[in-house]
Amino acid sequence: NYKERLHAALSCIMWQRVFWNKSIWSHLIVQGDTMCEYRWVIAMKDYEATVDTMRVSAALNAIGEKLKCLSFLPHENLHNIVTFQEVVCRWCTVNHKKLPNIRCFVYVFPCDFAKKGNEVEVYGTGGMILQNMKNLLQCLPGLERLELVDLQLDGLDGEHVLDEVSDVCRFSLKTLKIVNITRMPFSMMTVSSFVYLRCLIISPHNLG
């Protein structure tokens, strides 16, 4: 992760030179505690990770144009993921620019499978989390690979989840991976809008 790269750069002058290489910063993995500061919460009587928005903005200024792959792999703290995405979108809006060099976007949602008796109820994403992800995808016009895993959306959300991507990347997207994007069987006809799609990985219950 980025902390390990920073620590390596402090070890000697040779590692410091490598630190500024574009390929080092080509892939940014965002988790629940990425670029966070810990604050004491009286109600919880514990420290809580909160996204440092100034640090995220500074990082985008420094490495935004070097990024080629952006991955969101949260295990917890989904609020921090939403905040991180909002900061990226706000940065693009304020600077009147997008992130065209990002070729790959990965989002793996940590589904909550709650057992009730003999049945299993699935809690997927949606609402503000989904909308923020869609807003962020509009800032990635050069996207060639998109992976959305375990979103577990309802029918209406699943029907429109790829609308923004289709508007921005219908001619650039070459690889699309959508696994368990909906809870129930639903035909994802939107995939036909990607003209130059070469590889499609899709769950059986989302086939037409």
Among positive and negative, which fits the CA dihedral 12, 17, 18, 19? Answer: positive
Q: Judge whether residue 170 has pLDDT over 80.
A: yes
Burial of 199 (0-12, 13-18, 19+ CB in 10 A): exposed
> How far apart, in whole angstroms, are the C-alpha atoms of residue 74 and residue 81?
7
* pLDDT score recorded for residue 122: 45
In sequence order, which residues have a C-beta less than 8 Å from that of residue 46 and are 6 or more positions away? 40
Q: Is the pLDDT of residue 160 over 80?
A: yes
- pLDDT category at 115 given cuts 50, 70, 90 is very low
Q: Which two tokens stand for residue 167?
A: 């508007």
pLDDT at 184: 86
pTM: 0.83
Residue whose entry in the numeric block shows the structure tokens 């035909």: 187
Cβ–Cβ under 8 Å, residues 85 and 56: no
What lies within 8 Å, CB to CB, of 199 at 6+ separation is 174, 175, 176
Residues 22-72: pLDDT tens digits? 677 788 999 888 888 888 878 878 888 889 999 899 989 988 888 999 999
